[in-house]
Amino acid sequence: MGRKLRSQENLRSFYSFLLASGLHLLFFLLNWGAQWGVEAGDSRIIPVYSRVVVVEEKKPVFTETPAPVKKDPPAPEKEIPPEREAKAEVAEVVQEQPAPRHAPPVEKEERPSPVEPPGEETETPTHEEELTGEDLDPTPEEEGVEAEPALPPLGEGRGMVASYPMTYHKDLQHERVEGRVRLEVFLAADGKPLTEPVILRSSGDERLDEHCLKTVTSYWRFEPAPGPYKITVEVIFSQQEPRPKIEFLGDAVYLSPEGGDS
């Protein structure tokens, strides 16, 4: 079987070769015959057509820039001469002042002095009598009223305070708030506050002032005295010290009934 297939393939390739050779031979003969006919005098007219090719030349486009318009320079402004102020000549007119007219003197009418009735003579007191008359008012000792004894001195304000705790508010200390608060404390005879303390000098921070007022009113204790009195104290808040520094200014002072200091 294999030999038959090979022989068939060989035959096919041989026939293909023969066919291709014949075609090449035929093409060669045709070409050779055409060349032979031309050489023998057979002339052929081959029409040649010419075409005119028009090439359009592109003209360069020129953009015309408008010529700058020359502006005429502004005409110089004519200086208008300032109007001459007409100075009015003021003529000084001196009027002769008329002589002052003296009014005729008016004669004053003398009023008649009152006539004292007879029998009633008025005596003018002398200087000695006036001095003696001023001492006629009775003194309290003459009336039998004894004068009130003077109150004993209270001494330094620190001696009238039994306890005075003061703390540094943690929030204010954390915020590094410092300052001085000067207070005036009004107290009754039993040592209890009469009114709320008065701030004489603020620290500059309302929270520090309020903390100081609240501490003095709620936690401070004072000594009793023969009468109402007041003390002046200054509290110093500083970051350099953990606790505020307290200073008592001056002595404790009695309060007068009229509301002033005695």
pLDDT in tens, 20-75: 888 888 888 887 766 655 455 555 566 655 566 666 666 666 666 766 666 676 66
Model confidence at 86, pLDDT cuts 50, 70, 90, reads very low
Q: Is residue 193 part of a domain?
A: yes
Q: Which residue has the tokens 């001056």?
A: 250
223 found inside a domain: yes
Q: Which residue has the higher pLDDT, 104 or 169?
A: 169
Q: Give me the number of domains the chain comprises.
A: 1
Residue 127 lies in a domain: no
C-alpha torsion angle, residues 31, 32, 37, 41 (rounded to 10): 120
110, pLDDT greater than 70: no
Check whether 114 has a pLDDT greater than 90: no
Containing domain of residue 228, as a range? Answer: 157-254
Q: What is the CATH number of the domain that holds 196?
A: 3.30.2420.10
Range with top average pLDDT, 82-96, 175-189, 247-261: 175-189
Whole-structure pTM value: 0.44
From edge to edge, which strands make up the β-sheet containing 229-237? 198-201, 179-187, 229-237, 245-254
